[in-house]
Structure 1
Amino acid sequence: MSRFDPALVDRFLAHHWRFNPVDATFMGERGYDHRLPPAGAETLDDERAGIAELLGMLEASEEPDDLGQRLDRRMMIAELTVRQAAAESRPRLANPAWYSGEAAFGIISLLLPQSAPVREAALLDRLEGVDGFLAQGAERLAGVAVPAGWVARARRECAAMALFLREDIALHEDWAEGWQAPATRAADAFERFASALDGLDDADPAAGEAYLTLLMRTQHGLDFGPREALERAEAAFARLGEEMEAMADAIRPGASAAIILAKLAAIGPESVDAAFKSYEAIDQKARKAAEGLMTLAQGYGLDYRWMAPCFRRVSQTLYFLFYRSPPGLDAGSGSVYWVTPPGSDETAFLAANPTAIVKTIHSVHHGGVGHHTQNARARVAASRLARIAGTDCALGLAFLGSGTLIEGWACYVEDLLMEADGFYSPAEMLLLKQFERRNAASVLVDIRLHLGEWSEEEAIAFYRDEAGFAPSRVAGEVVRNTMLPASRLMYWLGVEGIKALRNRWRGDTVSFHDTLLSFGHMPLAWIAEEMDRAGQLG
């Protein structure tokens, strides 16, 4: 065995960015801003060769004594092992929505505030590269059976981008006339790609038990597989439903949880301006409530803004997040938090922004005490990869293994503030119980879809009729489940894992949370092992 060479992190990232240059842009590595991903006939063979070389060097190295290096080595081995399997059985190049998403965010990533000022040469290169990239995709997909949901998503994204490139990009604050011609050519390319998807046969999106087990055990680091996770989530889903009704009866005897939550949804600001101001105001209240429970990120700002006009329509279709993790390699001093404007229907806007949702989802889960503090703390983690693993990219997290900590923390901290007297009302606590039950429901869908036990139609019906998801959301949610196996299970399993760790922690509450977040974006199971190794758990 050879001594671990920290320079392998640079080789790993160079390999990753070669095949995922849009990820590099989101991470803050500017050397790839002019490129879109390779998608030619030789791409997968080249990628597999690079994976095999890196894995050989990593597996031949000794486990380092240094914490950061140890976690870097472990994450590289896990990510490469999963990508090796994906290249064989579920290559991204066989998914039309991968092409539409990468092409779309290859452009949009360069126009977001985190990339300001716009690097015009890189933007023009990517606009000109869309045609060739999507043409390679159309050629590869010709005659291939593809899940119908993936095709439908790709078509929607292509239509949204064509509209954006023909009209709305001109609303960008840095717009220049020289963008128009290449933007129009790119719009044409999106429409040609959508047309090329006509007539593709449908395919079963199930990943299978072996692949799901690999993701759970290798990428998420769990010591159990899909069958045990399914059993745990089934029991929790039933229990949480009973707890919701008991909580509702305690709030208002005889009333159902549905009735109380409907009344809660009607409570909110009475004007658009008041709704906008409530985001930051409630975030400040959440930060105050969290004092004594955790150490908040103070040196990294959170800037609430109306969403820029150029993005307002395209954001409705794409994986366009209102809060994105800052680029870890060029983080700057703060993040922008978009608030979607009302358009012509102010009543619908106010209905979509009740106080309870702004509080739980925007101000806590994503805001100052949730993802925002977590991301700020990750920038100084001992592991280099833990500083950027949770970067929000075109389709999701850069390295999925980080998700049990990232999404686990953001959901856990929603419940954590129940320990702050007076922050939540009883009805808001009931809403959080509903969120917890929905996360357990997502485990059931994630696993049963990929074990082949449920069809997409059965998953849609379960989300809508039993789990209480909004009907307008469920079809897209199921498509996302099919595209990204083992991604939705990390929310509920992450929360459960953090709760279990806290129960074993030898110190006080603040030190537990501070230590947990100090690891950055890493699989929660590995963090537990490191805490145990350090003698911090009972």
Structure 2
Amino acid sequence: MSQAASGIAALVDTYLEWHAQFRPVDLTFMGLPGHDHRLPPAHPELVQQEREGLEKLRAALNALDLDTLDLGTAAPSQHAGEQLDARLLDAQLTHATAELNRPSRLLNPAWYTGEAAFGVISLLLPRPGTTSEELRTALTARLKDLPRFLNEGLAHLRSAQQVPADWSTRAATEAASLAGFLKQELWLHPAAAAPDAALSGAAQQAAQAAETFASAVQGPLRGSPDVSTACGEAHLELLMRRVHGLPFGPHEALAQAEAAFAHLTAELEQDALAFSTSWQSVLAGLDAVRPDPTELADTYRQWHQRALLASEDAELVTAASDYGLDFQPMPDWARQVSRDLYFLFYRSPAAARAGAGSVYWVVEDGPPPSISFIKLVHAVHHGSVGHHTQNARARQSPSRLARLGGTDGALGLTFLSSGTAVEGWACYAEDLLLEAGGFYTPEEGLLLKSFERRNAACCIADIKLHLGQWTLEQMRAFYRDEVGFPEARVWAESTRNSMLPATRLMYWLGTQQIRRLRAASSLPPREFHDQLLSHGHAPLHWLSVPQPADPLQPTSGAS
């Protein structure tokens, strides 16, 4: 191994230790040990400490002679892993530093509530290799730490200028939900059954701290609707080019997305002529076809299996048939809290201890989703050949950071740089099953096209909001009037996007890059897609075009 390669391996270890110091809940979701007992620090010296750590990591990365990362005695896969680790490390350091140079997460009340709630919930999700005693010890320790964390958060919020009102609203909802969970639903989880005095006392104090936080952000620390949420052109440009690895900035991406939105709208109107009605009416007809609520989990499971078989028969991709996906009803302990938090029904398994399979929660409360939505979103996008296969294959990536980057954290992906790969593939996978003749109906072909139109629209909204061209209310009007989102989704989608710039554009731009790579490659579908997924969770625009006897490799140099 070259000196640079060994240096990158050591720097990855150092970076993960730094990440754990400031974001221990992420490490729990990744499955990395040693930090399950902690919540993040939020003391007054935090930003300076974080900045000093980033400067040391940047200096160490800059000191490496990355030109020595040639094949040498290393296998091609090892070489690719070293390249990806170096570039992902650069992206992570760039992103973390940039976030410190603008109003930081410490001034977002919803960051505190997300970390507090999922600091607890992350311990309660399926965790292969964890004993009951280890889980209870970690749970008690995090609950004891929760009042400290939320109190430090309130201190930051008191000293800050006003935050956006919707961030306060989201935080208040999450804090109240967390308090209720700690008083009631927590005790329905097997790990908390027959609680001892230490666990009971810690949960009671944590619930009180959550209630205090909710009251503060609803009252004296409530935000203002007049606060801008735009991150600005310079920050958005940096996120797109340096973190997502895109070869263009927001204005070119906006032009692409606006053109796509217009032509997809026109195509939907033209395609609907074959049905002698509007495309909106076709979709309404699909939405009316719903499964028996008593057979909902079985319906998910059946379409997941059909999607795996259809992909196999059409030789589209090597699906993760060796890694199971168990469809289970949402457990009683999570039913209420999952409604108010970023509680995903499918969450990426902890890469560092994935076990033999993962769980897909089926929400049985309320009307079931339509059969078509189950097929496209639950069976394909998240299950079968979508995120399920993608996550299983990413764990075999030669890059350690590319194995971890697509982890779902408390508020979103732990590495923003993983986004085009994670969401680009899952959206692309929906369309890929069109190549498995007979899997979709002609009407579902229109639904697929409407999904792509929606993703192009979200790309437009993401960019216009953060360039300052649209206010949050203008973004919401677009979602409501032009995209057709239901009202509840309009608020949730726009509020989250206002907190996390450059997250909604990665769906459509990631899908487009996969299409470009495939169009330029002469590989058969299965080989192309298998090579793509072996890359792991790293920016798609870093990849060269794969050809026969030419494995998919990261391109060299900066994007």
The bucket for the TM-score relative to the shorter chain is over 0.9
Q: What is the CA distance between 1:205 and its match in structure 2?
A: 1.2
Q: What is the CA distance between 1:143 and its match in structure 2?
A: 4.0
Compared CA separation, residues 88 and 297, structure 1 to 2 (3 A): same
Query: Which AA in structure 2 matches 1:169?
Result: L
Post-superposition Cα deviations, 1:473-514, rounded to whole Å, max 9, x if no partner, equal: 101110011000000000000010100000011211111100
Alignment partners' CA distance in 2, 1:2 and 1:29: 26
Query: Which AA in structure 1 matches 2:195?
Result: E
Q: What is the CA distance between 1:472 and its match in structure 2?
A: 1.8
Contact 1:33/1:122 (CA < 8 Å) preserved in 2? yes
Post-superposition Cα deviations, 1:371-417, rounded to whole Å, max 9, x if no partner, equal: 00000001110101111100011011110101101100000010000
1:173 corresponds to which of 182, 190, 212: 190
Answer yes or no: is 1:99 the counterpart of 2:115.
no
Contact 1:131/1:189 (CA < 8 Å) preserved in 2? yes
Query: Which AA in structure 1 matches 2:345?
Result: F
Q: What is the CA distance between 1:341 and its match in structure 2?
A: 1.8
2:21 corresponds to which of 18, 22, 27: 18
Q: Corresponding residue for 2:75?
A: none
Post-superposition Cα deviations, 1:202-248, rounded to whole Å, max 9, x if no partner, equal: 22111000000000000000010001111111111111111111111
Answer yes or no: is 1:156 the counterpart of 2:179.
no
Query: Which AA in structure 1 matches 2:169?
Result: A
Q: Give the secondary-structure state (helix, strand or coil) at the position aligned to 2:449.
A: helix
Post-superposition Cα deviations, 1:359-378, rounded to whole Å, max 9, x if no partner, equal: 00000000011000000001
Answer yes or no: is 1:276 the counterpart of 2:297.
yes
Q: What is the CA distance between 1:2 and its match in structure 2?
A: 6.8
Contact 1:27/1:391 (CA < 8 Å) preserved in 2? yes
1:286 corresponds to which of 289, 307, 318: 307
Alignment partners' CA distance in 2, 1:389 and 1:61: 22
Identity over aligned residues, as a percent? 50
Answer yes or no: is 1:190 the counterpart of 2:216.
no
Alignment partners' CA distance in 1, 2:155 and 2:550: 53
Alignment partners' CA distance in 1, 2:551 and 2:323: 31
Q: What is the CA distance between 1:535 and its match in structure 2?
A: 7.5
Q: Corresponding residue for 1:504?
A: 520
Query: Which AA in structure 2 matches 1:457?
Result: E
The worse-fitting range, judged by mean Cα deviation, of 109-118 and 398-407 is 109-118
Q: Give the secondary-structure state (helix, strand or coil) at the position aligned to 1:25.
A: helix
Q: Corresponding residue for 1:147?
A: 164
Alignment partners' CA distance in 1, 2:528 and 2:545: 14
Contact 1:104/1:161 (CA < 8 Å) preserved in 2? yes
Answer yes or no: is 1:477 the counterpart of 2:493.
yes
Q: What is the CA distance between 1:468 and its match in structure 2?
A: 1.2
Q: Corresponding residue for 2:82?
A: 69
Answer yes or no: is 1:259 the counterpart of 2:259.
no
Q: What is the CA distance between 1:304 and its match in structure 2?
A: 0.5
Alignment partners' CA distance in 2, 1:360 and 1:125: 41
Q: Give the secondary-structure state (helix, strand or coil) at the position aligned to 1:338.
A: strand
Q: Give the secondary-structure state (helix, strand or coil) at the position aligned to 2:341.
A: coil
Contact 1:82/1:215 (CA < 8 Å) preserved in 2? yes
Alignment partners' CA distance in 1, 2:512 and 2:475: 23
Alignment partners' CA distance in 1, 2:549 and 2:495: 40
Superposition map of 1:348-359 within 5 A: 348-350=366-368, 353-359=369-375
2:343 corresponds to which of 317, 320, 323: 320
Post-superposition Cα deviations, 1:123-181, rounded to whole Å, max 9, x if no partner, equal: 10100111000000000110421111111110010011011011111111222322322
1:400 corresponds to which of 413, 416, 420: 416
RMSD: 1.7
Compared CA separation, residues 530 and 423, structure 1 to 2 (3 A): closer
Query: Which AA in structure 1 matches 2:355?
Result: G
Alignment partners' CA distance in 1, 2:188 and 2:545: 50
Alignment partners' CA distance in 1, 2:154 and 2:552: 53
Alignment partners' CA distance in 2, 1:47 and 1:464: 40
Answer yes or no: is 1:446 the counterpart of 2:462.
yes
Query: Which AA in structure 1 matches 2:145?
Result: G
Answer yes or no: is 1:7 the counterpart of 2:20.
no
Query: Which AA in structure 1 matches 2:344?
Result: L
Superposition map of 1:204-283 within 5 A: 204-250=228-274, 252-253=275-276, 255-269=277-291, 271-283=292-304
Q: Corresponding residue for 1:370?
A: 386
Q: Give the secondary-structure state (helix, strand or coil) at the position aligned to 2:483.
A: coil
Alignment partners' CA distance in 2, 1:393 and 1:275: 27
Alignment partners' CA distance in 1, 2:466 and 2:254: 12
Q: Corresponding residue for 2:352?
A: 329
Compared CA separation, residues 533 and 448, structure 1 to 2 (3 A): farther
Q: Corresponding residue for 2:220?
A: 199
Query: Which AA in structure 2 matches 1:177?
Result: P
Q: Corresponding residue for 1:345?
A: none
Q: What is the CA distance between 1:533 and its match in structure 2?
A: 12
Alignment partners' CA distance in 1, 2:96 and 2:552: 33
Q: Give the secondary-structure state (helix, strand or coil) at the position aligned to 2:359.
A: strand
Post-superposition Cα deviations, 1:437-478, rounded to whole Å, max 9, x if no partner, equal: 110010111011111111111111100110111122101110
Q: Give the secondary-structure state (helix, strand or coil) at the position aligned to 1:444.
A: helix
Superposition map of 1:456-535 within 5 A: 456-528=472-544, 534=550
Contact 2:387/2:426 (CA < 8 Å) preserved in 1? yes
The worse-fitting range, judged by mean Cα deviation, of 120-129 and 178-187 is 178-187
Contact 2:136/2:191 (CA < 8 Å) preserved in 1? no
Alignment partners' CA distance in 1, 2:487 and 2:463: 21
Alignment partners' CA distance in 1, 2:127 and 2:3: 40
Alignment partners' CA distance in 2, 1:302 and 1:55: 39
The worse-fitting range, judged by mean Cα deviation, of 305-314 and 118-127 is 118-127
Alignment partners' CA distance in 2, 1:123 and 1:73: 35
TM-score (norm 1): 0.95
Q: Corresponding residue for 1:311?
A: 334
Query: Which AA in structure 2 matches 1:277?
Result: D
Answer yes or no: is 1:425 the counterpart of 2:441.
yes
Query: Which AA in structure 2 matches 1:127?
Result: L
TM-score (norm 2): 0.92
Alignment partners' CA distance in 1, 2:441 and 2:195: 53
Q: What is the CA distance between 1:530 and its match in structure 2?
A: 8.4
Q: Give the secondary-structure state (helix, strand or coil) at the position aligned to 2:360.
A: strand
Post-superposition Cα deviations, 1:87-129, rounded to whole Å, max 9, x if no partner, equal: 1213111111000000000001001113654411111010011
